[in-house]
Amino acid sequence: MLYPAERLSELCQDEEAISQEVRIIPEATPDEGVGVVEAPRGTLIHHYQTDEQGIVQKVNLIVATGHNYPAMNMSIKKAAQGLIKKGKVVSEGLLNMVEMAFRAYDPCMACATHSLPGHIPLEVVIHDNRGNIVDRLSRNLSSPPLKIKITKVS
């Protein structure tokens, strides 16, 4: 933590880094702003709109989880389908494999749920290709679960 603080102090003194071409200080109250930050879980996009006093009126946040949904869903489905044959679970590790696929895209979910691996509230509902429920697995449902629906299993 010391190095970033020292480096920040250096950059604040760097004439090129604080020049008017790089850093422009607003002369009026801004009415809109957008920021994009690359974080460990992915890209975070922030969009703010303010009133004439600079008080935030609208906020639109697009977080990494939103960007990751399509790939996350495909990975979870593939992990689950590999352990389901003819509508029956062939491995007791199904919930762990589904959780592992999920956490690969959103490792911060452990912080959000205050859960260790294997302890996240989780429910997997297995449907046949007609949409009928053929099996349901769950654990730790004392709080709202992460629900996963697997459909069209063979």
Q: What is the pTM of this model?
A: 0.55
In the block, residue with structure tokens 């709109």: 49
CA distance from start to end of the chain: 52
Q: List CB contacts of 68: < 8 A, sequence separation 6 or more.
A: 41, 42, 105, 106
What's the full length of the chain, in residues? 154
pLDDT tens series, the chain, 154 aa = 899 899 999 998 998 888 878 767 778 888 999 999 887 777 889 999 999 888 999 999 888 777 788 888 899 888 888 888 777 777 778 888 888 887 787 666 555 555 555 567 778 888 888 888 888 888 877 766 566 666 655 4
Q: Are 104 and 64 in contact (CB under 8 A)?
A: no
Q: Are 76 and 99 in contact (CB under 8 A)?
A: no
In the block, residue with structure tokens 């004392």: 142
Task: Say if residue 108 is exposed, middle or buried (CB neighbours under 10 Å; 0-12, 13-18, 19+).
Answer: middle
Q: Which of 46, 35, 43 is nearest to 64 (CA)?
A: 43
